[in-house]
Amino acid sequence: MPDPRSFDPVSFPGQTEGEAWPPAHFDFTAPWILGGKLAFERDASGEMCVVRRFEHLRLVVPFEAAHRMLELAPGGRDFRLLRLVPAALRFVEVVTPGDPVPLLLRDAEAVMPADHHLYAATTSLMEALARQTGEEGRALSDAIRRVQPGRDMFERALVHCVTVDGLSMEWIAPVARRLQRLTNAHARVLAAVASQPGYASMERIVGQTRRSLAADRRWASDLLTHALVGIEPILARPRLAAELLQRQAEAVLRRGGALGDIQELVAEQDRLRDRLHDLSTFWQRLVAAWLSVHPETTDRREIEALTRNTIRRLGLRSLYLSP
């Protein structure tokens, strides 16, 4: 497997020579976007919301159409910033003008699991534990649900089990140490899942671009159009691989013997986390670059370059094989 950070560099549409993109901040310049009243969020359906804070107005718009509502010309710097917002909303709850661009979009190393990843991993493990170990497991599971998410929630839940539920310290202490290791390993998997780029949005943009080229008589028979036709049926490969890896990690917690060979289970979680990390590292920048494409106006040479980047990544078959 090649080094994902040096493999086949990706340039964004409109990126000039020597320009760092994505930039450090969402430094929009259009006056109607500035002023502190406008923000971007993600709706429950996954679409981008444009929120006007003081008028209590929430407008759900597909990211492909948001530039028309905000009167931003395709290809301009504000347009390019706007097309980064959907990718950024995978890492933050809200994007407002002037906010920093998430580090993962700027090719930084993956971040540590957040508290909610630890809480979700702990809850999943406790549910499996309750099914396998009877009364003691159910007590530990209930205690975990009662504490606030945080780095020390496991310790606080154990204190509750001993002091309130009367569980034996001799039983609970060794079990807790092993389970905490497995919980932390699964939390790292959840963090890797959360860092996956918006593969489905990329698939949508590629499809729109292919249809736009096919409808133009000048490009309908071009090699670029044929290349997009060829990659479209297999473009879901990274998304499906990420979904499979997530399901496999969850299955590790549900299968029998969770209190047996913890070392093996932790190692399996770490292997799945590494695979997810490889996927996101290979695809993160390319997916964000595709989301910056405007099918009708983006320079065809830039679309051709992104298509070559995509074909090379889809050709890394070992990246998508089940471990």
| Cα dist from 132 to 127, 137, 146, 158, 258, whole Å | 9, 7, 20, 18, 8
pLDDT at 111 over 60: no
302 and 254 in one domain?
A: yes
207 and 120 in one domain?
A: no
| Domain stop point among 193, 211, 243 | 193
The residues near 92 (Cβ < 8 Å, ≥ 6 apart) are 99, 102
- Top mean pLDDT of 122-126, 175-179, 203-207 is at 203-207
Mean pLDDT, residues 53-68 taken together: 71
200 and 278 in one domain?
A: yes
pLDDT computed for residue 89 by the predictor: 87
CB 189, CB 277: distance < 8 Å:
no
211 and 170 in one domain?
A: no
DSSP type of residue 3: -
| Domain stop point among 100, 132, 150 | 100
The residues near 192 (Cβ < 8 Å, ≥ 6 apart) are 110, 273, 276, 277, 280
218 and 142 in one domain?
A: no
Instruction: Provide the residue type at 224 as one letter.
Output: L
pLDDT at 199 over 70: yes
158 and 64 in one domain?
A: no
In a domain, 228, yes or no: yes
Q: Counting beta carbons within 10 angstroms of the beta carbon of residue 65, is it exposed (0 to 12), middle (13 to 18) or buried (19 or more)?
A: exposed
In a domain, 9, yes or no: no
236 and 302 in one domain?
A: yes
In a domain, 132, yes or no: yes
pLDDT computed for residue 291 by the predictor: 92
140 and 73 in one domain?
A: no
| Cα dist from 233 to 78, 180, 210, 283, 315, whole Å | 32, 42, 12, 17, 14
pLDDT computed for residue 23 by the predictor: 94
Q: Which structural domain, as residue segments, surrounds residue 90?
A: 38-100
Mean pLDDT, residues 246-254 taken together: 84
How far from the centroid of its chain's Cα atoms is residue 315's Cα? 22
In total, how many domains does the chain have? Answer: 3
151 and 165 in one domain?
A: yes
Output the six-digit token pair for 231: 């990659």
pLDDT computed for residue 135 by the predictor: 58
In a domain, 308, yes or no: yes
pLDDT computed for residue 254 by the predictor: 72
248 and 221 in one domain?
A: yes
58 and 122 in one domain?
A: no
| Domain stop point among 193, 210, 235 | 193
Residues 7-27 pLDDT 10s = 889 999 998 888 889 999 999
132 and 68 in one domain?
A: no
